[in-house]
Structure 1
């Protein structure tokens, strides 16, 4: 199994446009995202996000938050743990919460998921996050994107 881990942030004239712009900033704005639960195959391989075919149906774990309250600090976090047998992904978000505390929370949750399954983590946890201070309407995203050869341009 191949995956990419991405994040993005942006503003827009509406919540929908801000979200779409954040997806585009992350490199996944031109595909149809299908949210899946947070499991990976064992020894999943992390890759740089390739150019995906526009309109493709792409599985992902998506963390996202949008706000139209100027001054809000918004954060989206994804944490990934990979073992020999399987891997786990955790997503969390926050508004006006310390981004470092959200990262720590995500790390704790993904460690717990792996421990509960009796799976030893290979290497380090991988954490991706995006934080923005809202000017008018903003969105942040972090995502694990499941890659298949037929999706790549």
Structure 2
């Protein structure tokens, strides 16, 4: 299994436009995202996001938060734990919370998921996107499941 871990942040005139702009900055704005739960095959390989075919149906774990309150500090995080047998992904968000606290929460949750499955973590990756809202802001962090059908 191959995955890419991406993030983006941006502003827009509306909440939807801000979200779309953040997706575009993350490299996943021109595809249809299908939110999936948080399991990976064993020994998943993390790759740089390739160029995706526009309009493709793309499976992902997606963490996102949008705000229209000027000055809000918004953060989206994904944490990925990879083991030999399987891997887990968690997503979490925060508004006006410490980025470190949000990251630590994600790390705690993904470690717990692996521990409950008795799987040793071989690799742990955390990706976050943060943004201070000017008018309408959005952040996204995502684990994108890659396959040949979606790659340009």
Q: Please, what TM-score do these two structures have when normalized by structure 1?
A: 0.99
Partner of 2:107: 107
For residues 45-84 of structure 1, the aligned pairs below 5 Å read 45-84=45-84
Partner of 1:134: 133
**Is the partner of 1:54 in helix, strand or coil?**
coil
- The alpha carbon displacement at 1:150 in A equals 1.4
**Is the partner of 2:37 in helix, strand or coil?**
coil
**Runs of 5+ consecutive residues of structure 1 not aligned to the other structure:** none
Total equivalences in the alignment: 152
- The alpha carbon displacement at 1:141 in A equals 0.2
CA distance in 1, matches of 2:149, 2:116: 34
Partner of 1:23: 23
**Is the partner of 2:105 in helix, strand or coil?**
helix
**Runs of 5+ consecutive residues of structure 2 not aligned to the other structure:** none
Q: 4+ residue runs of structure 1 moved beyond 2 angstroms?
A: none
Q: What is the RMSD of the two structures over their aligned residues, measured on CA atoms?
A: 0.4
CA distance in 2, matches of 1:10, 1:101: 22
CA distance in 2, matches of 1:116, 1:21: 37
CA distance in 2, matches of 1:25, 1:108: 28
- The alpha carbon displacement at 1:138 in A equals 0.2
**Is the partner of 1:150 in helix, strand or coil?**
helix
**Offset from partner CA, 1:86-130 (integer Å, 9 cap, x none):** 00000000000001000000000000000000000113x100000
